[in-house]
């Protein structure tokens, strides 16, 4: 125990660039190794080795620095602290790195290792690979000396000069997060839009939100929320309105007490300059602020100046899920620090032009926004706060006689109070931020190419590029408007193969499988043989426009598994379905419904297929087999030994007849909608509720039982307690009956909600139905056919199910269209995976 070591703290940006500066032999690599992770340090020697196999090959230096800049740039883009280990004694080398940091909007520090020249020369002598002469170090040292004087003016945030030889041990590196990084603050928040001096409305809004104000005399000087909520102000507290000092006192009190955060608006920035005496154009309501502050006490002016000057341009909150900036912020700028980030946050993505009213034209960045974080902002007055791609503008023009608006986060609830009067005349009329149609535009990058999608229920799902390409073609050529397309049904796996004599599929395996997955009760639903149909219906044209953004008067769609409309015009069907589903609209208190159904009969949609594929095979079989029988009979009559051939032909003829009956059972004459029915079996979603996710099949079937009328074919079903052999047997008998009468079979699903990777449903198809899947004679080859592999089908079923739920949840949560579409599109893409089509 001797003297306490004198450790010098070196504060570097946690997300940014650190440039080491020092002559060869100054100990940069040792320093970097001591204080940073190996992956954080990119050295020029290392890059020289990468491109030339020789770390000292000076002729490779230009290429080595290309690689170094590329690696450093990539790391900075990804938000990683990066240390450059190169001599950097020349200004041009440092300038390139400073520019690189700027282009990624991160801070850059320099750490100078200033060791005496003889020390460096001595160190180099100990390294056999460094055979350059002493003059090199001497030259570098001269460069360094010259640099030291002007280093601070080269764009570094801080320059840390460490003189002497023992710096490596003597310093402690402190990583400092950017000021805008407040991800540890989780709220809940009340984000308040542009106040513009409307102190009275602000007090009313806060009171409405449940805040309790504290007063100093008549002046509100603070507020707290009994539930511990925090306020976040999007800036533009000042100017134009009647009481800028009142607003400032209240917000400053809240910020000081830690109950509020506030970002700077462009008006604060200008007011700061004005108060400091800079020459500014006094316009856009600045005069009012200046006059009001002039009339008030001197200390308020001082405090306000200090407060506004200290405001930063944006905050990243709640683990990065919420970003607040006055004029919004594109994703690449979240958490970054640079002049242009600040300028974006304060003024928006300006094009430099001005409009007819002399106001700056802004690029609608929100329409391109695809980020994960919710971005809340103000700045541009809009008549109503509306979501655009997970971003929302809260400036509803209170000072112009509109409203003062707050957003409750994470509830996504909008709370507004009206202006008490028009305090300031607007330069131009309020315009909607972005029309619905534009916000709904999808981009090719949302769907094309290989993609990994994160899902809650199926983990990370990979969508290969070639599947996406196929899906793009089908989606863009045939599918309904993507705004209606909130879901696509997943594929469903058959039951594990049965060993029961004469059967390929049998209920016993389904019950065993679910019991094995820990399911205690299942529902057996009749499987209708028709065409899978998803119906999305709005209560009326208003609801369609409000909720789906469809403004052409259409009130719903009925589409196929690939998103195609069933009929050229589904209006009639939609109208009838809406009428039929009236009880659901009421009981679910919703303006819209999405139903998963089967559309019957099969021949409505599949007549071409039935004729081209099934009826043709039937016709060929039923004409040729009797001829073959006759040939064999005549040969046998001649005394030839035809072996078992005659019996085989007889059996095949019986199979052919059965095959023909199997498809014919699903053919019914229809005329327009006459004869067409829907068999709904699940209520996918309604306003605010992703019912497919939250309710059991028991609930779904009970709700759907409320639907009456000609349009509906009920889905017969029964529940089975898997521990009861009697119930299993009864259900098996029921299945045998259904299929003997020409039914396709049944779907077995868990009756209660399940967790983990349980198949959402498995199908048990009837013996005769399977003839149209496996061929007329499949019953003669069961042994071969039993070797089927369900793994891939089941994996797809699980993934598509997860993606479907993701889409529904996103739509219900009012996520941006691209997000819903990405999941729906992924289902279609996965459907193009090659799997055994008989499964």
Partner 1 sequence: MLLTVTTTHQPATDLGYLLHKHPDRVQEFTQSFGTVTVLYPEATVQRCTVALLLDVDPVRLARSRGRNAPDFSLAQYVNDRSYAASSLLSVAMADVFSTARSGRCDSRQELADSAIPLEIEVPVLPCRGGPAIAHRLFEPLGWTVEAEPVALDDAFPEWGDSRYVRLRLSGVVRLADALNQLHVLLPVLDESKHYWQGPDEVDKLLRSGEGWLTTHPDADLITRRYLGRRGALTRVALARLAELGDEVEEAVEPAEDEEALQPAEKRVPLNAQRHDAVHRVLLELGARSVIDLGCGPGQFLARLVQTPSFTRVAGSDVSTRSLQHASRRLHLDRMSERQAERVQLFQGALTYEDDRYAGFDAAVLMEVVEHVDASRLAALEHVVFGAARPGAVVVTTPNAEYNVLYDDLVGMRHPDHRFEWTRAELAEWSEHVGSTYGYAVELHGVGDVDDTWGSPTQMAVFTRAEGSDD
Q: Collapsing DSSP states into helix, strand and coil, what is residue 449?
A: coil
Q: Collapsing DSSP states into helix, strand and coil, what is residue 225?
A: coil
Instruction: State the minimum distance, in angstroms, from the CB of residue 479 to partner 1.
Output: 9
Q: Does 7 participate in binding partner 1 (rule CB under 8 A)?
A: no
Binding window for partner 1 (CB under 8 A); candidates: 44-52, 73-81, 155-163, 478-486: 478-486
Q: Does 576 participate in binding partner 1 (rule CB under 8 A)?
A: no
Out of 30, 303, 497, 611, name the contact with partner 1 by CB under 8 A.
611
Q: CA 766, CA 747: separation in Å to the nearest integer?
A: 11
Out of 183, 564, 651, 788, name the contact with partner 1 by CB under 8 A.
564
Q: Does 499 participate in binding partner 1 (rule CB under 8 A)?
A: no
Indicate the DSSP class of residue 335.
T
Binding mask 747-776 for partner 1 (x = CB under 8 A): -------------------------xxxxx
Binding window for partner 1 (CB under 8 A); candidates: 162-170, 396-404, 627-635, 800-808: 627-635
Nearer to partner 1 among residue 69 and residue 564 (C-beta): 564
Instruction: State the minimum distance, in angstroms, from the CB of residue 824 to partner 1.
Output: 14
Tell me how many residues contact partner 1 (CB under 8 A): 84
> 433, 388 in Cβ contact below 8 A?
yes
Binding mask 31-60 for partner 1 (x = CB under 8 A): ------------------------------
How far lies 6's CA from each of 1, 114, 176, 653, in Å? Answer: 14, 18, 21, 99
Instruction: State the minimum distance, in angstroms, from the CB of residue 740 to partner 1.
Output: 20
Nearer to partner 1 among residue 50 and residue 664 (C-beta): 664
Q: Does 623 participate in binding partner 1 (rule CB under 8 A)?
A: yes
Contacts of residue 622, Cβ cutoff 8 Å, sequence gap at least 6? 653, 656, 657, 660
Binding residues for partner 1 restricted to 456-475, rule: CB under 8 A: 466-467, 469-475
Q: Does 630 participate in binding partner 1 (rule CB under 8 A)?
A: yes
Nearer to partner 1 among residue 406 and residue 827 (C-beta): 827
Q: Does 608 participate in binding partner 1 (rule CB under 8 A)?
A: yes
Helical residues (DSSP H) of 695-779, grouped into ranges: 697-704, 725-740, 771-774
Nearer to partner 1 among residue 544 and residue 581 (C-beta): 544
Instruction: State the minimum distance, in angstroms, from the CB of residue 439 to partner 1.
Output: 11
> 654, 633 in Cβ contact below 8 A?
no
Q: Does 785 participate in binding partner 1 (rule CB under 8 A)?
A: yes
Q: Does 215 participate in binding partner 1 (rule CB under 8 A)?
A: no
Per DSSP (E only), the strands in 687-831 are: 717-721, 745-750, 762-765
Instruction: State the minimum distance, in angstroms, from the CB of residue 615 to partner 1.
Output: 5
Q: Does 74 participate in binding partner 1 (rule CB under 8 A)?
A: no
How far lies 133's CA from each of 130, 138, 145, 650, in Å? Answer: 9, 9, 20, 100
Q: CA 496, CA 786: separation in Å to the nearest integer?
A: 9
The residue assigned the tokens 């306490």 is 4
Q: CA 592, CA 683: separation in Å to the nearest integer?
A: 11
Q: Does 822 participate in binding partner 1 (rule CB under 8 A)?
A: no
Nearer to partner 1 among residue 73 and residue 551 (C-beta): 551
Q: Does 605 participate in binding partner 1 (rule CB under 8 A)?
A: yes
Structure-token pair, residue 114? 């200033």
Nearer to partner 1 among residue 103 and residue 476 (C-beta): 476
Binding residues for partner 1 restricted to 666-705, rule: CB under 8 A: 667
First vs last Cα of the chain: how many Å apart? 77
Name the maximum alpha-carbon separation found in the chain: 126
Q: Does 277 participate in binding partner 1 (rule CB under 8 A)?
A: no
Q: Does 601 participate in binding partner 1 (rule CB under 8 A)?
A: no
Q: CA 254, CA 275: separation in Å to the nearest integer?
A: 23
Q: CA 446, CA 444: separation in Å to the nearest integer?
A: 5
Nearer to partner 1 among residue 313 and residue 531 (C-beta): 531
Q: CA 189, CA 303: separation in Å to the nearest integer?
A: 25
How far lies 55's CA from each of 62, 69, 290, 484, 579, in Å? Answer: 13, 17, 63, 60, 78
Instruction: State the minimum distance, in angstroms, from the CB of residue 806 to partner 1.
Output: 20
User: Which run of H or of E encompasses 262?
Assistant: strand 260-262
Q: Collapsing DSSP states into helix, strand and coil, what is residue 84?
A: strand
Q: Does 567 participate in binding partner 1 (rule CB under 8 A)?
A: no
Instruction: State the minimum distance, in angstroms, from the CB of residue 352 to partner 1.
Output: 12
Binding window for partner 1 (CB under 8 A); candidates: 92-100, 191-199, 230-238, 619-627: 619-627
Binding residues for partner 1 restricted to 425-444, rule: CB under 8 A: 437-438, 441-444
Which residue in 431, 379, 424 sits closest to 401, CA to CA?
A: 424
Helical residues (DSSP H) of 284-364, grouped into ranges: 286-295, 298-309, 339-347
Binding residues for partner 1 restricted to 633-652, rule: CB under 8 A: 633-635, 638, 640-643, 645, 648
Binding residues for partner 1 restricted to 528-557, rule: CB under 8 A: 531, 552, 554
How far lies 41's CA from each of 17, 18, 57, 162, 170, in Å? Answer: 10, 9, 20, 19, 20
Out of 36, 387, 424, 778, name the contact with partner 1 by CB under 8 A.
778
């Amino acid at each position: 125990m001797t003297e306490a070591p004198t450790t010098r703290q070196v504060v570097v940006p946690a997300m940014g660039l650190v440039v080491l500066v020092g002559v060869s032999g100054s100990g940069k690599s040792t320093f970097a190794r001591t204080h940073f992770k190996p992956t954080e340090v990119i050295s020029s020697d290392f890059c020289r080795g990468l491109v030339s196999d020789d770390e000292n090959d000076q002729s490779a230096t230009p290429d080595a620095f290309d690689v170094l800049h590329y690696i450093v740039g990539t790391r900075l883009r990804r938000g990683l602290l990066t240390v450059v280990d190169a001599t950097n004694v020349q200004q041009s080398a440092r300038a390139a790195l400073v520019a690189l940091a700027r282009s990624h909007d991160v801070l850059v520090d320099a750490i100078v290792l200033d060791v005496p020249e003889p020390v460096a020369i001595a160190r180099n002598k100990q390294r056999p690979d460094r055979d350059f002469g002493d003059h090199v170090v001497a030259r570098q040292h001269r460069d360094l000396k010259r640099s030291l004087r002007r280093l601070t003016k080269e764009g570094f945030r801080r320059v840390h000069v460490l003189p002497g030889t023992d710096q490596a041990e003597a310093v402690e590196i402190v990583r400092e997060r950017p000021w805008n990084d407040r991800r540890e603050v989780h709220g809940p928040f009340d984000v308040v839009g542009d106040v513009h001096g409307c102190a009275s409305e602000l007090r009313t809004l806060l009171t409405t939100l449940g805040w309790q104000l504290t007063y100093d005399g008549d002046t509100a000087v603070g507020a707290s929320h009994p539930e511990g909520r925090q306020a976040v102000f999007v800036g533009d507290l000042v100017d134009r309105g009647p009481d800028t000092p009142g607003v400032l006192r209240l917000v400053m009190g809240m910020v000081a007490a830690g109950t509020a955060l506030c970002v700077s608006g462009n008006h604060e920035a200008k007011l700061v300059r004005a108060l400091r005496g800079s020459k500014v154009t006094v316009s856009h309501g600045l005069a009012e602020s200046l006059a009001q502050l002039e009339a008030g006490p001197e200390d308020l002016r001082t405090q306000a100046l200090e407060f506004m000057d200290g405001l930063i341009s944006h905050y990243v909150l709640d683990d990065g899920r919420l970003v607040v900036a006055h004029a919004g912020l594109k994703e690449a700028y979240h958490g970054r620090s640079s002049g242009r980030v600040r300028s974006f946050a304060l003024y928006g993505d300006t094009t430099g032009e001005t409009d007819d009213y002399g106001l700056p034209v802004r690029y609608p960045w929100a329409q391109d926004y695809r980020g994960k974080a919710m971005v809340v902002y103000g700045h541009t007055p809009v008549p109503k706060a509306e979501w655009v791609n997970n971003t929302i503008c809260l400036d509803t023009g209170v000072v112009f006689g509109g409203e003062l608006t707050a957003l409750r986060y994470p509830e996504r609830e909008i709370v507004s109070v009206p202006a008490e009067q028009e305090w300031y005349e607007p330069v131009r009329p309020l315009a909607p931020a972005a029309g619905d149609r534009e916000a709904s535009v999808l981009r090719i990058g949302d769907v094309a190419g290989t993609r990994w999608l994160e899902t809650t229920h199926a983990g990370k799902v990979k969508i290969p590029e070639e599947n996406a390409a196929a899906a793009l073609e089908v989606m863009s050529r045939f599918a309904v408007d993507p705004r209606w397309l909130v879901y696509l049904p997943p594929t469903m796996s058959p039951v594990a193969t049965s060993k029961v004599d004469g059967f390929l599929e049998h209920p016993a395996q389904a019950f065993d499988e679910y019991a094995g997955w820990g399911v205690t009760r299942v529902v057996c639903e009749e499987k209708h043989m028709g065409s899978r149909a998803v119906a999305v219906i709005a209560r009326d044209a208003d609801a369609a426009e409000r909720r789906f953004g469809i403004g052409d008067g259409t009130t719903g769609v009925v589409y196929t598994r690939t998103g195609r409309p069933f009929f050229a015009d589904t209006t009639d069907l939609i109208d009838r379905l809406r009428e039929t589903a009236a009880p659901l609209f009421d009981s679910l208190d919703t303006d819209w419904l999405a139903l998963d159904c089967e559309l019957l009969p099969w021949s409505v949609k599949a007549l071409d297929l039935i004729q081209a594929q099934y009826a043709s095979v039937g016709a060929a079989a039923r004409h040729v087999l009797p001829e073959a029988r006759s040939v064999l009979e005549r040969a046998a009559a001649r005394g030839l030994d035809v072996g078992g051939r005659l019996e085989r032909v007889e059996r095949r003829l019986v199979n052919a007849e059965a095959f023909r009956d199997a498809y014919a059972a699903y053919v019914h004459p229809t005329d327009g909608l006459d004869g067409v029915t829907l068999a709904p079996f699940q209520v996918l979603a309604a306003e605010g509720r992703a019912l497919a996710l939250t309710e059991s099949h028991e609930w779904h079937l009970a709700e759907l039982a409320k639907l009456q009328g000609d349009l509906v074919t009920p889905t017969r079903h029964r529940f089975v307690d898997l521990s009861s052999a009697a119930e299993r047997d009864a259900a098996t008998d029921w299945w045998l009956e259904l299929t003997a009468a020409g039914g396709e079979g049944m779907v077995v699903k868990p009756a209660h909600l399940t967790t983990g990777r349980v198949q959402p449903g498995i199908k048990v198809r009837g013996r005769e139905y399977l003839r149209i899947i496996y061929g007329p004679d499949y019953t003669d080859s069961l042994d071969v056919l039993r070797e089927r592999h369900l793994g891939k089908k089941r994996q797809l079923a699980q993934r598509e199910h997860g993606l479907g739920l993701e889409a529904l949840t996103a739509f219900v949560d009012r996520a941006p269209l691209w997000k819903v579409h990405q999941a729906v599109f992924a289902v279609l893409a996965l459907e193009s995976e090659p799997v055994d089509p008989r499964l």
